[in-house]
Amino acid sequence: MFAEFQQFIRRGNVVDLAVAVVIGAAFGKIVTSFVDDILMPPIGLALGNVDFSNLFINLSGKDYPSVAAAKAAGAATLNYGIFINSILNFVIIAFAIFLLVRQINRMQTPALAPAAATKDCPYCLTPVPVKAVKCAHCTSEIR
């Protein structure tokens, strides 16, 4: 069983997947920082000094100045501002992946179509093999 596990680990696909997961996690952190630290502050400023990460609905009935204060008190909250940030993170990551896949698809050479096995007789339009010199249907000579 150990030898089988070693063989599994040595496959190129497993190593490639592990590298992709690590790079994806790092990319996710970069995008999260971009959304939280660069993108959302100007949007919040444009909407009247709104801090999206502190937008929440308190379900406990007490008043808290921020999500962190409500969490520290153990209050039940609906954190819709954090949810908005998460949606923006997802959209940005999805768009970046779309651009990456689009470029990879452009760089790949298109698959060649297989050569046709038949052609049409110019006189009766019946399909005949490509190498045929006479049509089997109308007996015309094909060039």
Q: Chunk the chain into consecutive blocks of 10 residues (it has 143) and report each block's average pLDDT, rounded to whole numbers.
A: 79 78 88 82 81 84 87 90 86 84 82 83 91 89 83
pLDDT at 109: 73
* Residue 115 to residue 88: CA distance in whole angstroms: 48
Q: Cα angle vertex 11, ends 7, 13, to 5°?
A: 145
pLDDT for position 129: 92
DSSP 38: I
How far is residue 135's CA from residue 123's CA, in Å, rounded to a whole number? 9
| Cα torsion 55, 61, 66, 68: sign | negative
Q: Are residues 104 and 140 in the same domain?
A: no
Helices (H), 34-79: 40-46, 67-73
pLDDT recorded at residue 128: 92
Q: What is the pLDDT of residue 12?
A: 66
Are residues 98 and 134 both part of a single domain?
A: no
What pLDDT is recorded for position 27? 85
pTM above 0.75? Answer: no
Residue 17 lies in domain: 2-112
Considering its fold, how many domains does the chain have in total?
A: 2
CATH number of the domain residue 66 falls in: 1.10.1200.120
Beta-carbon contacts of residue 127 (< 8 Å; ≥ 6 apart): 118, 119, 120, 121
* Residues 73 and 90 occupy one common structural domain: yes
Q: How many residues does the chain have?
A: 143
